[in-house]
A and B are shown apart, each in its own frame.
Chain A
Amino acid sequence: MSKWSTLQSRSFLESSARERALGLVDEGTFTEFVGPFDRRTSPHLEVLGEAVEFDDGIVTGVGKVGKTPVFVISQEGRFIGGAVGEVGGAKMVGTLKAAIAFADKIAAEFPNATDEEKPVVVISFETGGVRLHEANAGLLAHAEVMDQFQRARGKVPVITLIGSKVGCFGGMGFVAAATDAIVMSEFGRLGLTGPEVIEQEMGKDEFDSADRALVYRTTGGRHKYVMGDCNAIVDDTIAAFRAEVVKLAKLPVSAFEAMRRIGSEALVAKQLKGVALAAEMQPKDARDVWKHAGNADPIALANVPLDEFRSTVKRLAL
């Protein structure tokens, strides 16, 4: 494992789940929960004669950013594509439960605690959703995570980071959408139905999954930023993602409601304006929507350096 200081300049895209977890919080503050030494491996993979990981492909723990306790969930795409099974799902749920209970404890015992002393949850997604080897348990875990998110509302902000190789798809695509704030890099991808699955279901004419540019402009960070589906788009380093976490960690929990995309009747009404626009436009390509949002040359905009993109892009107003 690299030193904390060298982790900072590392590519987020290339980093392992543990490197991301360690590098996102302050140096030396991370305590891992149910880590590799606990050897909580998947019994279901074992029965199938498959290789197991001692952390089941997910790193969970708590660290600090300044004065803020930061609960971290970090998924490892290099182990079965970051897919969620019984153990990994329980680690996610357990971490969320611990964060909520900790927020309740601080509210009860430290009435003068400042906003920055109250916990946040950070989830670094890298997953295609349910692990098929233990599909039913993985599915049930997704429902539990969604339930914990609703329980966390108004108590603990949940921050999503997406910039890893596998992206964030399948059930975890809506799990991420249900969090308070979403930070992506331009290499991050977020969606429900992965490109291969759309092609398989709808045909190559609808979606050619081998067309990487098409895949990125449909689900990638820049597109999600135009759509308002992520709150910030950052450079591909651990330091850049960390800087966003530092910024968000100081905010009062109430400030996060305004960052959400879904989770209230008013937000559903707002999203329905987007759906009406989709029906009216019938876009053949994400670029059509970029144009509609006021970006005259979407092809150029997709290729300019990220700084320039951030300063010139027009985001879709709903």
Chain B
Amino acid sequence: MDTLLGQGRAAIDLICDPETFNENKVGAKSFDDPDFGPGAVVGTAKLDGQTVTVIASDADAFNEKFPVVYAGIIGMEEGYKMAQAVYATLEADKAEAKENKRAIVLVVDTPGNGPGKVEEIFGMNKATGAYQLALAEARLAGHPIIAMVIGRAISGAFLCHGLQADHILSLDSDFGTMIHVMPLTSISRIIKKDMETLEKLAEGNPVFAAGPRFFSRLGGVEEIVTKIEDMHGAVSRHIAEVRDAKKRGTETTGPVGRGSLGAERGGRVVRPEVIKLLESEFAAVASKYLPGAN
């Protein structure tokens, strides 16, 4: 097996303890309707004996009600189903201390969010937004969230399912993994720059290039995993690292942590400067905006 592209279910068994995945059950919640959000796979598994929630995409599923959903696309039902799995995880551990909250493992292989007229009429933006807010809530509540990119992590779908995680791991591009907003060929066409120039520039500036290695330099991927059999150990190790990091607050993992990592790795050095400048400019005038100030 040299690629896991389109094989989200097989990947769950490779990442978690084999044959422990109990689909459609998260805490007290059961997902009983097989026709509801078939492109989203949710359930509970064990990872080194510990209970984890797993959320993945099923590339073979087709949503009869919403025909834009196939090949791992996250449609409206899928987005809300994934959000429900997160809320069910929060509910299941609500009495647990912060450090004992179960991990959530996102198995990432999705090419996009549902594009379509019905989706726009009813608001696909809400479904993907709802899932992201649920993940952010769980992350801030203490649940370690690890995303493992095994295939496609494309643009808005990666924002939906991946980029709210504490840590993001990716199989190397040898395995066919793709992380990008658009392929470089499309970017080249839209911004009207030839491929040769873009490819050359991408060597020094990973900001528009496609692939896990470029994302890693931007801090968008914490670790590249170079062997399929290493995924289990890597995810387990990152759960432990994230648990440890969370003892020191919520600023060192997740999107904020990846901002710092991007500066550390030299891929996104302007971001922290701008935030720092903005904070100092506000600090200089903040007293004018305090209660009772004129």
Contact = CB atoms under 8 A, between A and B. Distances in A.
A38 B121 CA distance: 41
A173 interface: yes
B95 interface: no
21 contacts: A44-B205, A44-B207, A62-B282, A86-B271, A87-B274, A89-B271, A91-B278, A95-B278, A113-B291, A132-B181, A134-B208, A136-B206, A139-B181, A140-B255, A147-B255, A150-B133, A192-B124, A207-B117, A265-B84, A271-B130, A278-B76
Contacts of A34: 274, 277-278, 281
Interface stretch (A6-14, A16-24, A193-201, A297-305): A193-201
A294 interface: no
B164 A98 contact: no
Contacts of A175: 129
Nearest to A140: B220
Contact of A202 (B68, B201, B208, B250): B68
Given A48-B193, A150-B133, A275-B77, A132 B118 contact: no
Contacts of B270: 40, 42-43, 86-87, 90
B121 A223 contact: yes
Nearest to B254: A147
Given A137-B271, A272-B80, A289 B121 contact: yes
A76 interface: no
A209 to B, nearest CB: 11
B286 A102 contact: yes
**Prevailing SS type, chain B contact patch:** helix
Given A132-B190, A261-B123, A272-B80, 18 more contacts: A40-B274, A90-B271, A93-B259, A93-B271, A98-B282, A130-B155, A130-B181, A133-B191, A136-B206, A136-B218, A140-B262, A143-B164, A144-B259, A146-B159, A170-B156, A177-B125, A227-B122, A283-B121
Contacts of B180: 135-136
B259 to A, nearest CB: 6
